[in-house]
């Protein structure tokens, strides 16, 4: 058999393929191997921030086979340690932070279209499941853990109804291993009551959205059709309508992404009209003016990104910082979320968002609750996650200092379901590399 020699062009193509494969191999090998063994261990003498507002100085926390079996004051209660004894005197232990309304694992590089999988074409997509697209090996996901973000709600974007979100833990081989709560809610992007012409760099005047009422009627018609379809036993299959069955029956949540006082009032009217049992507002700028309405209807809020600019020209300059406190002070259930520019990478700042809220009126332990127990309660996973309590999952981390402060957040150990996870990432590798370059010893102890 005669084989023709490769031409120069083919040789060049072959070399590119080889280089790409080598690069891919390096990238894959850089991923941290998920921990597999549920350890038994005892954390001694740390300040335990329970997540429900309580603090225990000089605590003892015992974990057996991935479950917290005891949390007590070591000065009051004598408990024999179990497994590895972790001496954490002068340190702090926290429940794993929960990142709400996140697109972690759905996009790797914004500029590379093939790695962007956060939305589908179409306007009404309640059947789209974000969990199927979740990439557990994302290097962005990996970089969340060193700041204590161990759980995330993965949410699709786009359209009037984006699809279904799921809850994952951030140390897994694949999405099947990662999932904590699958398809737990449907996300609706409420139409804006105003529109703006022009561009981002030269915006035009704000004007009323002439199609606002039309958009709401269209959404209501879709709900009516979904209810009618799911009430009928013998009919043709409709994937979109059937995907809403659990939420319409009150077993799942509807998340309304909405901003503006008028729009929020209209959402509440829509919720009551459709007898929605588990509504949640996301973003909710302007909600500080309708807190009584939200409290009366028991509607929780995922407050928009704390480190942001005011939404309106006439808003207080510090409104994003104090917004969660204003809602909580009025009796509204509040957790924090992070959607916006560079949202996947900014997810690592969740503990610092809570720290900023604490600097603008909120008690620090209540601010911590906004990123731990309250999100768990909203997601319906609080029986297992969200706080350091007996019988719950040992999903927690140990920090040298105050985890809500950028200066104090220095993790030494972190566990998910009792598994001792790696805190290394490409960022920590670069840190160590350049510390060595300048002849300095890296100052971190995590592995």
The residue with tokens 């005891």 is 70
**What is the domain extent for residue 337?**
97-385
* 1 within some domain: no
pLDDT value for 83:
93
Looking at the structure, tell me whether residues 276 and 366 fall in a common domain: yes
Looking at the structure, tell me whether residues 272 and 243 fall in a common domain: yes
Residue 287 DSSP symbol: G
* 327 within some domain: yes
Closest CA to 322 of 338, 341, 303: 303
Query: Is residue 11's pLDDT more than 90?
Result: no
Question: Going by C-beta distance under 8 Å and a sequence separation of 6 or more, which residues neighbour residue 234?
Answer: none
pLDDT value for 28:
44
pLDDT value for 428:
81
* 16 within some domain: no
pLDDT value for 234:
61
The answer to whether the CB of 373 falls within 8 A of the CB of 323 is no
Looking at the structure, tell me whether residues 59 and 149 fall in a common domain: no
* Most confident by average pLDDT, 67-81, 199-213, 234-248, 322-336: 322-336
pLDDT value for 16:
53
* 33 within some domain: no
The answer to whether the CB of 413 falls within 8 A of the CB of 420 is yes
Indicate the SS3 state at residue 396: strand
- Model confidence over 163-213: pLDDT tens digits? 999 999 999 999 999 999 999 999 999 998 887 777 766 777 778 888 999
Closest CA to 66 of 44, 102, 36: 36
Looking at the structure, tell me whether residues 188 and 218 fall in a common domain: yes
Mean of all residue pLDDT scores within the chain: 89
Query: Is residue 36's pLDDT more than 90?
Result: no
Looking at the structure, tell me whether residues 225 and 338 fall in a common domain: yes
Looking at the structure, tell me whether residues 88 and 199 fall in a common domain: no
CATH number at residue 429: 2.30.40.10
- Model confidence over 116-173: pLDDT tens digits? 888 899 999 999 999 999 999 999 999 999 999 999 999 999 999 999 999 999 999 9
* 355 within some domain: yes
What's the burial of 400, exposed, middle or buried (CB within 10 Å: 0-12/13-18/19+)? middle
Query: Is residue 299's pLDDT more than 90?
Result: yes
Looking at the structure, tell me whether residues 129 and 52 fall in a common domain: no
CATH number at residue 164: 3.20.20.140
What's the burial of 379, exposed, middle or buried (CB within 10 Å: 0-12/13-18/19+)? buried
- Model confidence over 322-363: pLDDT tens digits? 999 999 999 999 999 999 888 899 999 999 999 999 999 999
Looking at the structure, tell me whether residues 201 and 235 fall in a common domain: yes
Looking at the structure, tell me whether residues 194 and 300 fall in a common domain: yes
Closest CA to 103 of 72, 125, 78, 135: 135
Looking at the structure, tell me whether residues 292 and 361 fall in a common domain: yes
* 316 within some domain: yes
* 292 within some domain: yes
Number of domains in the chain: 2
Q: In terms of pLDDT, which residue wins out, 333 or 37?
A: 333
Q: Characterise 349 by phi-psi region: left (phi > 0), alpha (psi -120 to 50), beta (else).
A: alpha
- Model confidence over 50-62: pLDDT tens digits? 999 999 999 999 9
Looking at the structure, tell me whether residues 213 and 329 fall in a common domain: yes
pLDDT value for 27:
44
The answer to whether the CB of 338 falls within 8 A of the CB of 101 is yes
Q: Across the strands, what pairs with 377?
A: none
The answer to whether the CB of 326 falls within 8 A of the CB of 359 is no
Question: pTM of the prediction?
Answer: 0.89
Looking at the structure, tell me whether residues 52 and 84 fall in a common domain: yes
């Amino acid at each position: 058999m005669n084989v023709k020699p490769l031409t120069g062009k083919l040789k060049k193509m072959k070399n590119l393929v080889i280089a790409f494969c080598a690069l891919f191999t390096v990238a894959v090998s850089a991923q941290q191997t998920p921990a597999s063994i549920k350890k038994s261990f005892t954390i001694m003498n740390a300040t335990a921030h329970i997540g429900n507002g309580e603090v225990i100085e000089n605590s003892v926390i015992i974990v057996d086979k991935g479950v917290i079996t005891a949390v007590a004051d070591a000065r009051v209660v004598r408990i024999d340690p179990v497994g590895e004894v972790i001496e954490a005197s002068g340190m702090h232990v926290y429940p794993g932070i929960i990142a709400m309304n996140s697109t972690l694992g759905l996009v790797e590089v914004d500029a590379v279209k093939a790695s962007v999988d956060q939305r589908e074409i179409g306007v009404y997509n309640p059947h789209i499941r974000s969990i199927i697209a979740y990439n557990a090996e994302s290097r962005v996901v990996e970089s969340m853990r060193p700041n204590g973000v161990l759980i995330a709600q993965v949410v699709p974007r786009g359209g009037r109804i984006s699809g279904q979100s799921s809850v994952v833990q951030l140390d897994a081989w694949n999405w099947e291993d990662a999932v904590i709560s699958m398809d737990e809610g449907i996300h609706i992007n409420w139409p804006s009551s105003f529109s703006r012409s022009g561009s981002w760099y030269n915006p035009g005047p704000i004007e009323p959205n002439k199609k606002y009422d039309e958009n709401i009627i269209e959404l209501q018609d879709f709900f009516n059709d979904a209810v009618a379809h799911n009430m009928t036993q013998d009919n043709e299959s409709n994937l979109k309508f059937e995907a809403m069955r659990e939420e319409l029956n009150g077993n799942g949540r509807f998340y309304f992404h909405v901003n503006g006082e008028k729009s929020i009032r209209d959402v509440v009217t829509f919720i009551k009209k459709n007898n929605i049992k588990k509504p949640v507002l996301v973003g909710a700028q302007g909600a500080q003016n309708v807190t009584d309405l939200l409290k009366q209807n028991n509607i929780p809020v995922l407050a928009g990104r704390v480190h942001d600019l005011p939404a309106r020209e006439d808003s207080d300059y510090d409104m994003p910082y104090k917004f969660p406190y204003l809602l909580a002070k009025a009796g509204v259930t509040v957790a924090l979320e992070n959607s916006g520019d560079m949202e996947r990478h900014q997810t690592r700042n969740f503990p610092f968002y809570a720290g900023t809220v604490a600097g603008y009126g909120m008690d620090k332990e209540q601010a911590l609750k906004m990123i731990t127990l309250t999100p768990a309660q909203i997601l319906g996973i609080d029986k297992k996650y969200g706080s350091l309590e007996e019988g719950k999952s040992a999903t927690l981390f140990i920090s040298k200092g105050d985890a809500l402060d950028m200066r104090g957040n220095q993790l030494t150990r972190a566990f998910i379901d009792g598994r001792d996870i790696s805190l290394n990432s490409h960022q920590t590798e670069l840190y160590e590399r350049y510390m060595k370059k300048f002849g300095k010893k890296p100052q971190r102890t995590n592995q």
